Amino acid sequence: MTDPWTRLAAAAADWDALAPRLTPDDLHRLALRLAEWRASTGAAARDAAFRAARLLGELLPDRFPAGSRLVSTPDAPAGGHLGFRAEDLAVLLLDGHRMVGPVLGEVRDRLLAAPSLGDEEVLLAGCDPYAPALIRLPATGGPIRLPAFQFAPDGRLRDTVREVNLLLDADGDPWGAADWWLSPNAWLDAEPARLLGTADEPRLPDTARLLTEGE
């Protein structure tokens, strides 16, 4: 016996092996179930999780056999599997990136919790939200969030941020670039983003260059 969230988490943990076995129609049906689950709360969310988990059993009966009965109680916490959560399957299938699991999932949550702006807010402030070198992170459900540290008080993209983001290939690896800015840096003895607008800001490009030159 298992709860539906544990089954969804187990699918996320094995996704590299399971996804190639599903047809485009299978993936579409599963995506609809996961979207329904995300959009629901309370008992409706629990029911939607059951439907998504049952569909996995139908699509992958050898991995989730019929004898593995789904059970849950209203107050039971959502289960996981090897550090993966049910939400990780939704991220993989709906949000289209791989920041999931016991390590990257925590990084995803931390980076998305940082102050950020949406496309419209950036545009209204006078900056192009699609400008090259901007870090753009897909949040839960698909909306794009742009970490707020990238912008000066007047709304423009900071020159130093543009330079560093180009060095870090923010277009190709936005999560990696965001993690560099928002994590403690041993060379700087601070989070790089905290040094913007200070006397230490000129050190940021050279520090980022050290990282890229070591690759």
Q: Are strands 80-81 and 84-85 parallel, antiparallel or unpaired?
A: antiparallel
Q: Which residues contact 60 (CB under 8 A, 6 or more apart)?
A: 11, 18, 21, 22
Distance between CA atoms of residues 170 and 177, nearest Å: 5
pTM, full prediction: 0.84
Q: Which of 205, 173, 212, 165 is nearest to 188 (CA)?
A: 205
Residue 70 half-sphere exposure, CB side, CA atoms within 13 Å?
22
Q: 84: helix, coil or strand?
A: strand
pLDDT tens, residue order, the chain (215 aa): 578 999 999 999 999 999 999 999 999 999 999 999 999 998 898 899 999 999 999 999 999 886 566 665 555 556 789 999 999 999 999 998 999 999 999 999 999 999 999 999 999 999 999 998 999 999 987 789 999 999 999 999 999 999 999 999 999 999 999 999 999 999 999 999 999 999 999 999 999 998 877 55
Q: Which of 68, 79, 72, 84 is nearest to 14 (CA)?
A: 84
